[in-house]
Each structure stands twice: as structure tokens, then as C-alpha cells.
Amino acid sequence: MLRRMLAESFGTFWLVFGGCGSAVLAAAFPSLGIGFSGVALAFGLTVLTMAYAVGHLSGGHFNPAVTVGQWAGGLFPVKDILPYVIAQVAGGAVAGGVLYLIASGVPGFDASASGFASNGYGDHSPGGYALSACVAIEFVLTAFFVVIINGVVSRKSLASFAPIPIGLALTLIHLVSIPVTNTSVNPARSTGVAIFQGGWAVDQLWMFWLVPIVGGGIGGLMSRVLRATE
């Protein structure tokens, strides 16, 4: 279990550092910014690369919603949920701290004012979307993300290729939802940067735990039904 927890921590660190780091450091870099598309691709690449690197040890969840979704889908034991979630949140928080250290190397950097790649709704949604819209998109995208993950990993013939569709799915999710919530679908990712933003992001963090966890659980149940039908 210790090795599996370390794998989940390393994987979640890489996801938060690579994905949120691309948003904080590179998205709007003067004249050479990578923009929304670049950030979306960065998140997808973090999952793809770490799933290949340590997925054989832990399953490569890197996300509490995925862990819950795997359990709901009958692919993961309930006794291992809490250790995995602790490891994921710890990895995300360390990544947020390292990213904060790097970003604050620029004179005038203010994590509170910039948002620090945090997720938000209402006034803190990138596009000003209302809470109801943000709940809807986080729920739908998390549920379908888990359906994709469970559908791929439950088929032995696809096991060696699983990180590819999973990484592509996360890229698509970000392409759709960055303007709405800055894309969470992952409570550990949201927590890792919110604690360093330190203001509204912490106040709104409840939604980015509750909705992805519920969405992941529903996605897991959906995947179980689809697998039974098949």
C-alpha cells in the first residue's frame, strides 16, 4: 500500500504541477502563450505520461473522483479509498506549493489576484457562468471521464493502451470546460492550488469536491451497467 500511495502522490503531483503550471506560467506568456488549447493538452499529457510511469503500481487514478468511480464500478476495494485520496491530496498540495514557489519568483506576482489556476463559479468562473451551469458541466464531464476510464481498464486487451484514450479524454474535457470552471473534475487538483490562492477558491472548494465525487460515483455505476450489458 505504501508503494501504491507514493505512486498516486507522484502522479497527482505531476498532474497538478504540469497542468496548473502550464496555466499559471505559460498560458498567457507574452506573445508566446499556449492558451486554452495548450493547457488542455498539458493536462492530458500529465495523465498519459504518469499512467505509463506508475499506473502498473496503483492503477493510475490521480483523482479522488476516479477512485470513487472505480469503486462504484466494481473495480476497486472500498477499504483502499481513503489511503488513495490522502495520497492524491498530498501530492496535489505539494505540487501547488512548488508551483507557488516558482511563480512567486516574478516581481509583483499575487496568487490571490491572479487566481493561481483555481476553479471557480459565478464571479470566479472564467466566463462568468452561474453555479448551476458549473455544477452541470463538472457532473457530466466527471461521470463520462469515469465511464471512459472504467470501460478501458476493465478490458485486458486494451490495458497497455489505456493511458492514451484516458489522456485524450482529459484533454477534451479541458477544451470544453476551461471557460466554465477552469476545469476541475478532480478534487485533488482543485485543492492543490486553492490553498495557495487562499481566498475565494477555498470558499468555493466544496463544489469541486462534492460534484466530481458524485459524478464519479454515477459514472462508475453507469460503467458497471454497460459492462454487464456487454
Q: Are 42 and 190 in contact (CB under 8 A)?
A: no
Task: Confirm whether 214 is domain-assigned.
Answer: yes
Q: How confident is the model at residue 114 (pLDDT cuts 50, 70, 90)?
A: confident
Task: Confirm whether 230 is domain-assigned.
Answer: no
- Find how far residue 99's CA is from the centre of its chain: 16
Q: Are 126 and 180 in contact (CB under 8 A)?
A: yes
pTM of the model: 0.93
**At residue 133, does pLDDT exceed 60?**
yes
How many CA atoms are closer than 13 Å to the CA of 161, on its beta-carbon side?
Answer: 8
Q: State residue 183's pLDDT score.
A: 97
Q: What is the CATH classification number for the domain harbouring 18?
A: 1.20.1080.10
Range(s) of the domain holding residue 125 = 1-102+116-225
**Coil, helix or strand for 32?**
coil
Q: State residue 108's pLDDT score.
A: 87
Task: Confirm whether 108 is domain-assigned.
Answer: no
* Crossing angle of helices 2-15 and 81-103, rounded to 10°: 40
Would you say the C-alpha torsion 203, 27, 161, 222 has a positive or negative sign?
Answer: positive
Task: Confirm whether 75 is domain-assigned.
Answer: yes
Q: State residue 158's pLDDT score.
A: 80
Task: Confirm whether 111 is domain-assigned.
Answer: no
Q: State residue 81's pLDDT score.
A: 97
User: Which ranges of the chain would DSSP assign to H, the alpha helix?
Assistant: 2-15, 21, 35-58, 64-72, 81-103, 111-114, 131-153, 163-181, 187-197, 200-203, 207-229
User: What is the distance between the alpha carbons of residues 187 and 20, in angstroms, rounded to a whole number?
Assistant: 13
Q: How many domains does the chain have?
A: 1
Task: Confirm whether 27 is domain-assigned.
Answer: yes
Task: Confirm whether 169 is domain-assigned.
Answer: yes
Task: Confirm whether 219 is domain-assigned.
Answer: yes
